[in-house]
Amino acid sequence: MIGRRSLTSVSSAVCASLALFIISGFQQIKAQDLHFSQFFHSPLSTNPANTGFIPDADYRLGVHYRNQYSNIMAIPYKTMSVYGDAQLFRDKLENGWLGVGGLLLSDVAGSGSLRSTKLYGSVAYHQMLGNSSLLSAGFNVGWANKRIDLSALKFPDQFDGRFFDNRLPTEVVLSNTSVSYLDIQAGINYAFFPNEDVYINAGYSIHHVNRPRETFFNDQSNNGIIPMRHIGFANAILKTSSNLILNPNVYYTNQARASELVLGMNAQINLGESGDKQLLAGAYYRLNDAVIPMLGFQLYNIRFSFTYDATISTLRNFNNYRGASEFSLTKYGFYPDNPGRESLCPKF
């Protein structure tokens, strides 16, 4: 994952080579999926079994924004998401319920030459196993589109000796500048909550189960097949005192030859009565790539958090340790006829 956006220069020559790499990447599929440092605040893009997997509310709505390499790119990479999910039939199904939700993802790469839009509908079923554990399984089905603006690209064979001129002919020929396809993900989750102070859960999901084809070239071979992506995570919520809850997390994903490992912890500090005001603070580490401090605040049922990717790889020589900023805003809620359902996880 970390190799997806590791630019080492912004010179004209490298930008031109990058443009060619982006185009050819759709033929060889070297690029990786979108991702967030705050994976724990992006539940539906991490695992569709998270749909309706809300231990302390009936529904939630969230927005996410990531801005990357703003100090070395004239127009930085921008990734945005909007999602919502809810629990249904909680009181009608025996020891279980249904989760439904939706997710919209949008990504703009660099100058806007490459844009991605993905829209998913998600369903999951959650079954209690006794009084202290829960098993969930879910899937989502979505429509994905990628498009490119050729007028914004310059290729190496358009270099006239002094400048890159996109009016010059190029050997790069695309059959189309927009491609759409069906995309399917599936996953499972397990949660264990032996008492009111301990909550542990883990999940595993497979993305691009149907192995869709994504290419701008008129090529009938297997080039352009998106490789399946595997994601695993583990999470714990531990109430250590009346005013402190610890939340350690670990996340691993692998797709083709790229992988990403993130681990760390954040703390919820009670600042008010019954947890109506909380300070969030923590830190995460992406292996061989970045240190990610986190700061946030929760007021009643609205949570805001901010993280910053401080680059520690060799890329720090070019971006001066400044990687990506990320914002997350989540609202949790209860249905009118259920103002305070019993929580499955520790809370103030």
Is 345 inside any structural domain? Answer: no
pLDDT at residue 17 is higher than 90: no
124's tokens: 């999951």
Strands, E, within 69-132: which ranges? 77-88, 96-109, 114-128
pLDDT at residue 2 is higher than 50: no
pLDDT at residue 139 is higher than 90: yes
> For residue 304, what are the contacts with CB-CB under 8 A and spacing of at least 6?
296, 297, 298, 327, 328, 329
Strands, E, within the chain: which ranges? 59-68, 77-88, 96-109, 114-128, 133-148, 178-195, 198-207, 229-241, 244-255, 258-270, 277-286, 290-299, 302-311, 322-333
Taking only the tens place, the pLDDT of each residue in 33-89 is 778 999 999 999 999 999 999 988 999 999 999 998 666 666 678 899 999 999 999
pLDDT at residue 6 is higher than 50: no
Strand partners, 123: 100, 139
Taking only the tens place, the pLDDT of each residue in 78-128 is 899 999 999 999 878 888 999 999 999 999 876 667 889 999 999 999 999
Comparing C-alpha atoms, which of 175, 120, 167, 110 is closest to residue 142? 120
Whole-model pTM: value is: 0.85
Burial of 105 (0-12, 13-18, 19+ CB in 10 A): buried
CA distance 346 to 95: 20
Comparing C-alpha atoms, which of 34, 4, 37 is closest to residue 286? 37
Is 266 inside any structural domain? Answer: yes
| pLDDT score recorded for residue 32 | 59
* C-alpha neighbours within 13 Å on the C-beta side of residue 305: 26
Is 308 inside any structural domain? Answer: yes
Evaluate the CA torsion angle 307, 312, 315, 316 in order and state its sign: positive
CA distances from 319 to 8, 179, 262, 313 (A): 8, 32, 21, 10
Domain limits for position 168 = 2-333
pLDDT band at 133 (very low <50, low <70, confident <90, very high): very high
pLDDT at residue 220 is higher than 70: no
pLDDT at residue 15 is higher than 70: no
Is 108 inside any structural domain? Answer: yes
| CATH at residue 153 | 2.40.160.40
Phi, psi for residue 50 in degrees, rounded to 5: -75, -10
| pLDDT score recorded for residue 1 | 40
Is 348 inside any structural domain? Answer: no
| pLDDT score recorded for residue 42 | 95
| pLDDT score recorded for residue 175 | 74
pLDDT at residue 232 is higher than 90: yes
Taking only the tens place, the pLDDT of each residue in 186-215 is 999 999 999 999 999 999 999 999 999 888
pLDDT band at 177 (very low <50, low <70, confident <90, very high): confident
Burial of 309 (0-12, 13-18, 19+ CB in 10 A): buried
pLDDT at residue 307 is higher than 50: yes
Helix (H, G, I), strand (E, B) or coil at 86: strand
Long-range contacts made by residues 262-267, C-beta under 8 angstroms, separation at least 24?
262/37, 262/39, 262/286, 262/287, 262/292, 264/292, 264/294, 266/294, 266/296
Domain total for the chain?
Answer: 1
| pLDDT score recorded for residue 209 | 97
| Across 222-247, average pLDDT | 93
| pLDDT score recorded for residue 3 | 39
| pLDDT score recorded for residue 111 | 63
CB neighbours (10 Å) of residue 224? 20
Is 342 inside any structural domain? Answer: no
> For residue 57, what are the contacts with CB-CB under 8 A and spacing of at least 6?
301, 332, 333, 334, 341
Looking at the chain, the whole-number percentage of residues with pLDDT higher than 90 is 57
The radius of gyration of the chain from alpha carbons, rounded to an integer in Å, stands at 22
Contact (CB, 8 A) for 300 and 276: yes
3-state helix/strand/coil string of 14-53: HHHHHHHHHHHHHHHCCCCCCCCCCHHHCHHHHCHHHCCC
Is 199 inside any structural domain? Answer: yes
| pLDDT score recorded for residue 315 | 74
pLDDT at residue 252 is higher than 90: yes
Taking only the tens place, the pLDDT of each residue in 255-279 is 988 999 999 999 999 998 778 899 9
Is 163 inside any structural domain? Answer: yes
pLDDT band at 222 (very low <50, low <70, confident <90, very high): low
The whole-chain average pLDDT of the chain stands at: 84
| pLDDT score recorded for residue 21 | 41
| 289, amino acid identity | D
| pLDDT score recorded for residue 149 | 79
Comparing C-alpha atoms, which of 53, 232, 44, 61 is closest to residue 139? 44
| 31, amino acid identity | A
CA distance 187 to 206: 6
